[in-house]
Structure 1
Amino acid sequence: MNQRLRTRSDWLDEYHQGVRYGLLGNLILEETSPFQKITIFESKRYGKALLLDDCWMTAEKSEKCYHECLIHPALSCSTQIDNILIIGGGDGGSARECLKYKEVKSIDLVEIDLRVIELSKKYLPTIGGNAWSDSRLHLQIKNGIDWVKNAKENSYDVIIIDGADPIGPSKELFSNSFLTDCKRILKRGGVLATQSESPESFRQIHINIVKVLREIFDYADPMYGSVSIYPSGLWSWTFASMGKPKYMNPKKSRVNEISKNCQIWSERWQQGAFNIIPAFIERELAKT
């Protein structure tokens, strides 16, 4: 999908379908784990950044545009938030946002690549923050597909899928079988949240993710926002639930608890983000 990354002088570029998305700065580290290529880059605009398989994943000064939008529509709305499952999320940002809620009792963070966690802790410590030392966070260095397949029914109040583009280790995180297993282990009244790519740069992948979730769950809706370092800058997150669209109605007590510590997310922002679905996406999703 994004086949190559290169440096020219002090620029680092991600290439996607004839367009490049680059930052100015300095290469800190580049290595290959048993699962993927990992790059740490220090940019002048957004601070230190992480790339996996030559794709921008996160950066210190833009990560809240992604993590707050993935986490809070799910946790502010789910019936209960005692037990949380995060698949991926090795930079620690999703766990940090979940741990803002005092109601959260336990988080299983299942990351396949230990090196992503190790390097994030070392080079991007502000993203995970205090999450790494919080006793409620339980790291599981395992395959997320297998974890979900083997988990008991009704195990989690919220499931967060914080994976990379659907290539390499993250490819199966968007499959029908994996998402069906997620539904099985999600408690009634719970919410599933997943990043769902750019409706501009990954148009068909984005549409397919939403359609698969609508086949499996009673309700699934995409939400849109801006993540400047990602291809096109326009990004999406999709939320799913059974019975009714739980993710549409934040609980006031939770909003009051965490909103003062958010830079992007708010109840008003969330409402608008669900309503700005592009017309061509809405038409595609309406097709049977």
Structure 2
Amino acid sequence: MNKPIQDGNWIDEYHNGVRYGLEAKLLIEEQSKFQKITVIESSRYGKGLLLDGCWMTAEKQEKHYHECLVQPAMCSAKEIQKVLIIGGGDGGTAKECLLHKEVEQLDLVEIDETVVEICKKQLPTIGGQAWQDPRLKVKIEDGIHWIANASSNYYDVIFVDGSDPAGPAKGLFNKVFFENCRRVLKPGGIFATQSESPEAFREIHIDTVKILREVFEYADPLYGWVPMYPSGWWSWTFAAIDNPRYLNPIKQRVIQIEENCEIWSPRWQSGAFEAMPAFVERGLSK
């Protein structure tokens, strides 16, 4: 477990000899059954959340992450009536999903109820109106167990919005879990997960993409930036069974949500899928 470093008015995440920090004041530090939850307030990015000393989100950064995880999948899956989020206790992924009027059922499976309650109270703009939307059903359960027991061919889109592969999120980055996700995904569906920084978590990133390519017929990483995260350089990986439909947004869905987006657009997405660095390409070929 990392411990957030406080140095005067600075709060930092420490990772492999590098500190990633904000000038901020500490608002809350609470130990849940699963992890340490920290909420800070900064002038640059607003209120922010750390779990076990690792940056998760902030009010003025969340769209850099949530749009890039959600919209490539939601704009291109064959259908989007039934959607599953594993993790996502801050509500940001749910908010992005619910921009789509076609969504009828959105299940959010979060292991740590304390994260949900703190984010609702301290970071309400990240989840926005999602928490009041009747389509959202919050399940306080272990996502690994949930997906293992879910019905086959049930969800149109599955999102894994977990923290780094340690602590409560450790089991979200392995082949058995991904195989269960494939089983639960409907034909024409899309699976999407955050897949770490290709710089700060190089081996984990490459291994995640490799495993997804073993489990699904198609899987491709998309690259963007979340400035508050280690290295600032981040990735999300999308997978499908029948064809790489995540590469081709459906125009009508784009029209419905594009005015709400700060980062994502079809043009941005096209370049982000093509932005694979040479060392990742070599690593995936081994």
The answer for the alignment partner of 2:193 in structure 1 is 194
Q: How does 1:79-158 map to 2 (within 5 A)?
A: 79-158=78-157
Q: How does 1:146-225 map to 2 (within 5 A)?
A: 146-225=145-224
Task: Summarize deviations over 1:177-225 as a string: whole Å, max 9, x none.
Answer: 1110000000010000000000000000000000000000000000000
- Given residue 223 of structure 1, which amino acid in structure 2 is its aligned partner? L
The answer for the alignment partner of 1:42 in structure 2 is 41
- Given residue 58 of structure 1, which amino acid in structure 2 is its aligned partner? T
1:278 has 2:277 as partner: yes
TM-score (norm 2): 0.99
Distance 1:186 1:241 in 2: 9
Task: Summarize deviations over 1:23-57 as a string: whole Å, max 9, x none.
Answer: 00100010100000000000121000000000000
Which consecutive residues of structure 2, in runs of 5 or more, have no partner in the other structure? none
Q: Which runs of 4+ in 1 moved over 3 A?
A: none
1:242 has 2:241 as partner: yes
Distance 1:26 1:270 in 2: 35
Among the aligned pairs, what percent are the same residue? 60
Distance 2:173 2:245 in 1: 21
TM-score (norm 1): 0.98
Task: Summarize deviations over 1:91-118 as a string: whole Å, max 9, x none.
Answer: 0000000000010000000000001000
Q: Secondary structure at the match of 1:238?
A: strand
Report deviation, 1:243: 1.5
Q: Secondary structure at the match of 2:190?
A: strand
Distance 1:71 1:4 in 2: 29
Task: Summarize deviations over 1:104-162 as a string: whole Å, max 9, x none.
Answer: 00000000000100000111000000000000000000000000000000010000000
Q: Secondary structure at the match of 1:198?
A: coil
- Given residue 206 of structure 2, which amino acid in structure 1 is its aligned partner? I
- Given residue 275 of structure 1, which amino acid in structure 2 is its aligned partner? E
Distance 2:278 2:245 in 1: 24
Distance 1:17 1:269 in 2: 31
- Given residue 35 of structure 2, which amino acid in structure 1 is its aligned partner? Q
- Given residue 101 of structure 1, which amino acid in structure 2 is its aligned partner? H
Distance 2:163 2:6 in 1: 22
1:69 has 2:78 as partner: no
Report deviation, 1:3: 2.7
Distance 2:148 2:21 in 1: 38
Distance 1:199 1:184 in 2: 28
Which consecutive residues of structure 1, in runs of 5 or more, have no partner in the other structure? none
Distance 1:190 1:3 in 2: 36
Distance 2:102 2:245 in 1: 18
Q: Secondary structure at the match of 2:177?
A: helix
* Residues paired across the two proteins, number: 286
- Given residue 74 of structure 2, which amino acid in structure 1 is its aligned partner? L
The answer for the alignment partner of 1:57 in structure 2 is 56
Distance 2:265 2:176 in 1: 33
The answer for the alignment partner of 2:257 in structure 1 is 258
Report deviation, 1:4: 2.6
